[in-house]
Structure 1
């Protein structure tokens, strides 16, 4: 059991270091105005937040599970909200990356018009704002429980549940099945 406790912290630390390296590397690229790069910056930032919460709160909890600080409910809620919000943001950002790559491969001209620098900034801001609002809904679950019935609460809290995962898988599969370069080489 002790081996697993050590590995939890090591995994979090390695993940933080790798994602910071990705952010540093991406920031050095000249095409930071590119939508794909902006979406990757957003996803790496989300990953760092999740891993930091895991490294400073969840992994030490396995060592010191009897410590009084881990029994304080509001601290656990805050860390849970931060981690949950960053995780959901990471999932939606991954969806954006998949859609961006799908559009770039299948409709390159439309992709340039849709994913402009300004639109990309707006999309990233909208994703973060949506996920923060969704996190606030989780934080104030008692208000929703009182005000809404079970079906409405589920619709508010889980708007896209598994639908966004299906879109990611389908767009990745189509992108891999029909790469743009193979169509060009067939025509020549």
Structure 2
């Protein structure tokens, strides 16, 4: 009697094939998830870098044009800085949890009032620099010539979206933005 060649697969072969396919599919799904998450983080990082560049440009330009600066936070002095221009323009930078708010007031009577914060009615121009999970601190040098802004991004809280974050982990890099006060007015005395 001759044996016929068997057609089909045994149960063991089917189970091994299914197990290998499950491993390959789950590895592929995990890889796609990690790629999408890193792409999202890359996009956020690019947006933060662009916002920091814009903030740095505005802050330095405002400090160079100002003749006087003072810390004016409501809860802590270092959470806001007010810059006074030579022609009565006031610019205020204020820290918030999601970035920095820049308010400009062009009212000369504002200088006579000398109140602590620019109100929304007085603000002639506003800019918001969106920087998620921000920690911002303003600083004036001892001699009053340098105004600094220190920005740091708090780490993500631990959870399903973060692989290795812990609540006690320090945040990312500290970005200092420093400018000299009244740099645009350095030659006015010579004229």
Same fold (TM over 0.5): no
- How high is the TM-score relative to the length of structure 2? 0.29
The structure in which a higher percent of residues are strand is: 2
- How high is the TM-score relative to the length of structure 1? 0.30
The structure in which a higher percent of residues are helix is: 1
Computing the radius of gyration over CA atoms, which structure comes out larger, 1 or 2? 2
